[in-house]
Each structure stands twice: as C-alpha cells, then as structure tokens.
C-alpha cells in the first residue's frame, strides 16, 4: 500500500499546464522531486533551478492548489498559484513554514496591479489559514549572477567524471591550504592545453555537487577562488 503524505499531496498539480504559443511553456526535470515539473514562463523555470540547488528546500511543486474566488456573492474561476515549497529542518530542528508563491515579472506586476491584487490578497489569507507563507517571486530576486552560474553548472551535476581525476583535484586543493583561482588550479593540473578539456568539466562537477566551494553570488570566471568546504 502506498501512503501519500500531506506534503506529497500538495505537490500534485491541480491543473495541467496547457501548450501555449503565446507563452514559453515546458517541463523542468527535477532530481530533488524525482519527476518533471511544468512551467508557464522562463522565470518560473529559473525559480525551479534556484530551488533545486537550495539545500534548505525539501521539495517543490507547480500549480499546487486552487484558491476559491468570490466576487459580489458569485463564484469565480479559482486562482491557481504557481508554486508550493516545502523546507527541510535546520540544524536546530526548526522547520520553516511552506511557501505558497506566484512568479511574476516586475513590469507585469506594475502594469496589472489592479487585476492581480484581489487574487493575491485572497491567496495570502488562504496560505495563512494553512500555516503557510505567501510570497511573490520576481525577476529581481530570480534573475541574478547566481542563477546564471547554476544554469551553467547544472549541465555538469549528474555527469560523474573519473574518480581518480576528482580525487587529484581535491588533493591539489588540500595542498594549497587556502584558496586558489580556477586558472591557477588548471595550470597546476594540466601540463598541456588538451588536458584542460578533461579537467575543467571535473572542476565544474565538483562545484555543482558542492564538494568545492566558490562564491556563486558573483559571475563565475577563471579568476574565481576555489576552496574546500
């Protein structure tokens, strides 16, 4: 018998995202959720990339709930927010409340403020009644250098390079007893440029899997400093 938890139920979409030739729709393959999730904009997809790499996030699901809407005593078409996020407990044992959210571009929010306000107000109360947080995610917090770094690194996350090469890279980092630039590390590891084609992807993999630390809040370049956790 398969038992579906309340968290899992909330991650089952209440509405299937239709194909739309006016919007950018598609699916995002999420290892964290063990399935593909639909999105209706590139901004929604980009948020999913951020959530996938966020160690505090347990799971997330698209089109999670139908929020009832009523105007002048008449039932309207339910409002379906974009995402519901569940979090893992912290080291202290505390768990952040789930976040019900909408993903919108700032220009869209400004242009359609009057249209969206009633829906968002009801959704905020709906979330509060269930002990959730309500949040509107915008391009300001999503479209960052950090996101661009993750887009690049995710291509190297699941492709496991040769373990001997990975250990060699880590050993070199251990010997530095501090930080070293990507360029300097490649020069130490690669006697000729042809070897860079094998070593560089291994470095990206170690960064993507968080076995090497680098400041991803800034654009990733050859002078970015690497260190061990």
What is the SS3 string spanning the chain? CCCCCHHHHHCCCCCCCCCCCCCCCEEEEECCCCEEEEECCHHHHHHHHHHHHCCCEEEEEECCCCEEEEECCEEEEEECCCEEEEECECCCCCECCCEEEEEECHHHHHHCHHHHHHHHHHHHHHHHHCCCEEEEEEHHHHCCHHHHHHHHHHHHHCCCCCHHHHHHHHHHHHHHCCCEEHHHHHHHHCCCHHHHHHHHHHHHHHHHCCCCECCCCCCCCCCCEEECC
Which pLDDT does position 212 carry in this prediction? 97
Could you tell me whether strands 133-138 and 180-181 are parallel, antiparallel, or unpaired per DSSP bridges? unpaired
Q: How confident is the model at residue 178 (pLDDT cuts 50, 70, 90)?
A: confident
Which pLDDT does position 23 carry in this prediction? 64
Q: How confident is the model at residue 2 (pLDDT cuts 50, 70, 90)?
A: very low
Average pLDDT over the chain, rounded to an integer: 90
Which pLDDT does position 120 carry in this prediction? 97
Which pLDDT does position 158 carry in this prediction? 87
pTM for this predicted structure? 0.86
Architecture of the domain whose range is 6-142 = 3-Layer(aba) Sandwich (3.40)
Q: Would you kindly state where each structural domain of the chain is located, as residue ranges?
A: 6-142, 145-226
pLDDT tens, residue by residue, 119-163: 999 999 999 999 999 999 999 999 999 999 999 999 999 888 999
Which pLDDT does position 1 carry in this prediction? 26
Rg (CA), the chain: 21
C-alpha to C-alpha distance for 131 and 125, rounded to whole angstroms? 10
Which pLDDT does position 9 carry in this prediction? 52
Which pLDDT does position 19 carry in this prediction? 55
Beta pairing partners, 79: 67
C-alpha to C-alpha distance for 146 and 20, rounded to whole angstroms? 29
Q: How confident is the model at residue 14 (pLDDT cuts 50, 70, 90)?
A: low
178 CB-side CA count, 13 A: 3
Please answer whether residues 71 and 104 qualify as being in contact, where contact means their C-beta atoms are separated by less than 8 angstroms: no
């Amino acid at each position: 018998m398969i038992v579906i938890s309340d968290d899992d139920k909330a991650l089952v979409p209440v509405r299937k995202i239709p194909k739309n030739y006016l919007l950018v729709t598609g699916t995002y393959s999420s290892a964290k959720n063990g399935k593909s999730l639909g999105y209706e904009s590139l901004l929604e997809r980009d948020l999913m990339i951020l959530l996938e790499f966020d160690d505090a996030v347990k799971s997330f699901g698209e089109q999670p709930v139908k929020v009832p809407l009523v105007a002048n005593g008449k039932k309207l078409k339910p409002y379906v927010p974009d995402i519901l996020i569940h979090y893992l407990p912290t080291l202290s044992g505390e768990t952040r409340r789930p976040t019900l959210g909408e993903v919108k571009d700032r220009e869209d929010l400004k242009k359609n403020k009057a249209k969206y306000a009633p829906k968002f107000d009801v959704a905020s109360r709906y979330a509060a009644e269930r002990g959730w947080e309500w949040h509107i995610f915008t391009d300001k917090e999503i479209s960052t250098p950090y996101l661009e770094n993750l887009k690049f690194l995710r291509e190297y996350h699941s492709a496991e390079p040769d373990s001997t090469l990975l250990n060699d890279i880590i050993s070199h980092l251990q010997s530095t007893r501090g930080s070293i630039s990507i360029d300097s590390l490649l020069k130490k590891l690669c006697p000729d440029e042809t070897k860079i084609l094998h070593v560089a992807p291994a470095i990206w993999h170690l960064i993507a899997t968080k076995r090497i630390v680098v400041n991803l809040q800034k654009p990733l370049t050859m002078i970015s400093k690497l260190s061990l956790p």
